[in-house]
Structure 1
């Protein structure tokens, strides 16, 4: 399994709008081949970034998503938030799962 984590620093006054954009965007990724799950984690501490996790069957499935028309549409929607909504740049990280407590035999 392939996991993509995006840390997005959102100013508190834009949090509600940010979450609404992701609720709409999530419907686009849900239909993609190889997509498993999307989690948007709201920070408990003001000033900490949101964390957006997407789980994929493979890196290839994720790469196909990034080249799809749905990806372009979703990121165009994120442009509905002004630049000042963000406290800094996002940070994208990618991982391979080596242990999953929900899967027997790991």
Structure 2
């Protein structure tokens, strides 16, 4: 299993609109083959980024998602926020899960 983490800096005055954009597109990814789950983490300290964390069975499943029409549809909705709502470019990180205490491995 892999995780894909997207760190997104959002200016405080746009936080509510950013969160609403995720609520509006929630569920689009759910039916994709290889998708496990999605979490959107709100920062607890001012200036820290939001974290969008998705779990996938494998990297190939994630790559298929990024090339899908559903991906384009979901991300077109996020275009409703102006560029100046963000504090910089998002930072994407991918990790392989080698230990999961919930799974006992």
Partner of 1:71: 71
Give the corresponding residue for 1:5.
5
Q: Deviations over 1:9-43 (max 9, x none)?
A: 00011111101111122211111111111000000
Task: List alignment gaps of at least 5 residues for structure 1.
Answer: none
Partner of 1:93: 93
* 1:56-83 residue CA offsets vs partner (Å, 9 max, x unmatched): 1111110110010010011111100001
Question: Structure 1: which 4+ aligned runs deviate by more than 3 Å?
Answer: none
- Give me the whole-angstrom Cα distance separating, in 2, the residues matched to 1:33 and 1:24: 21
Taking structure 1 as the reference length, the TM-score comes to 0.95
RMSD over aligned Cα atoms: 0.8
Paired residues, number? 105
Answer whether contact 1:42 1:50 (CA < 8 A) is retained: yes
Q: Give the structure 2 partner of residue 102 of structure 1.
A: 102
Structure 2 CA distance for aligned equivalents of residues 67 and 27 of structure 1: 17
What TM-score results when the alignment is normalised by the length of structure 2? 0.96
Alignment check: 8 A CA contact 1:26 1:38 kept: no
